[in-house]
Amino acid sequence: MRKIKAFNINKPYGIRRSIEIAVLILTVSFVSCTSLDERLIPIGQERENVGELEMRAGIEPYYQRVDIYRQQDCTTTTTTNADGTVTTRTECTPVPYSPMGVFLGNGVFVDVRGNIAVDLVTVTGLRSSNKFTMRQEMSGLFSSGESSVSREGNKITIFQPGFFSDDEVVITIRPDGLDLEDGVRLVQDATGIRYTGVEKTTIFGIEIGGDPPEVTVISPNSIKAGPYKFVRNADGSIQVGGMAQFSKKADHIQIQYAGNIFAEGRKEFIYSGDQRMAIVDQDKSLGVAFSWDEQAVQIQTVRSMFQFFGKESVVHIDR
């Protein structure tokens, strides 16, 4: 994550202070103009492509997701300085994905850890294919190179480059679920989804112990996924625990967030078009938008008006 050092405009320097103020004003003016490329957002009759809501327990093993709402694992530390002042620092890291959860239609998947995302394998039509590769360039402090997920018949291979060593996971698809590592299986039937053969291991960055998460189908209108209960209401909307409510409108899906003091009342809107999709705020300036063809998915993300540029990424597809 890029860190921008703030200017201290209270320093008693004449010229330097004026320059810093001017630069800060120009920076804020420039950054505040950052917004999603409106050409990526479906308009008019194209929006009629948005599908109905569904509520279906399922397994998403490819991890090719575009985040709508990513849970964060935050740690706060408090330090008392030599001069007696107190410094508080909070560091957050994204909660790892889980392969089990609930599909809500239009490629939207909510996993048992509360991560809401669009599954690219579903929206690009690759889920019915038994041979493809999706790959993306990765760059960071501890890793660089190209990550990929490939399917060849009933085998899925997930490759992640690392700084010292690379990680590769091979998954076998079975009619009733997945064979993972170390004899661990992910099994799905009419009652839900659960791990079997688990003692203690780490799968997809998550430590699985003696009480792993499950998905339980309670009724046609109620599913429990981890700590989250999904309920289809009388009006057709779907409540996801105390986190969010999904509602089908004439030409879009509305997400109403709740149960979080930082997101109370916030709304986002899912627009679906011809090989493009956008999840945006009320002003359609912040969010994520992407389009795809046979060769690639082009993604633009703008989560804050203080971004210098929209974050661009490309997922390449080999069929």
Contact 246, 69 (CB under 8 A): no
Contact 257, 243 (CB under 8 A): yes
Structural tokens at position 22:
């001017």
Burial of 254-293, coded b for 16+ CB within 10 Å and e otherwise, reads ebebeeeeeeeeeebbbbbbebbbbbbbeebebbbbbbbe
User: Quick one: three-class SS letters along 170-191?
Assistant: EEEEECCEEECCCCCEEEEECC
> H-helix or E-strand containing 112?
none
Residue 235, C-beta contacts closer than 8 angstroms, at least 6 positions apart: 247
pLDDT tens sequence across 127-137: 999 999 999 98
Residue 1, C-beta contacts closer than 8 angstroms, at least 6 positions apart: none
Nearest alpha carbon to residue 164 among 181, 150, 145: 145
Break the chain into its structural domains and give their ranges. Answer: 14-318
61 has a pLDDT exceeding 60: yes
Contact 212, 225 (CB under 8 A): no
Q: Lowest-pLDDT range, 40-49, 140-149, 279-288?
A: 140-149
| Average pLDDT, rounded, for the chain | 84
Nearest-5° Cα angle at 267, 257 to 124? 95
pLDDT tens sequence across 143-178: 568 999 999 999 999 998 876 678 899 999 999 999
Q: Lowest-pLDDT range, 6-15, 58-67, 74-83, 273-282?
A: 6-15
pLDDT tens sequence across 247-278: 999 999 999 998 656 556 789 999 999 999 99
Of all residues in the chain, what percent carry a pLDDT higher than 70? Answer: 80
Indicate the pTM of the whole model.
0.83
Query: Which residue type is seen at 8?
Result: N
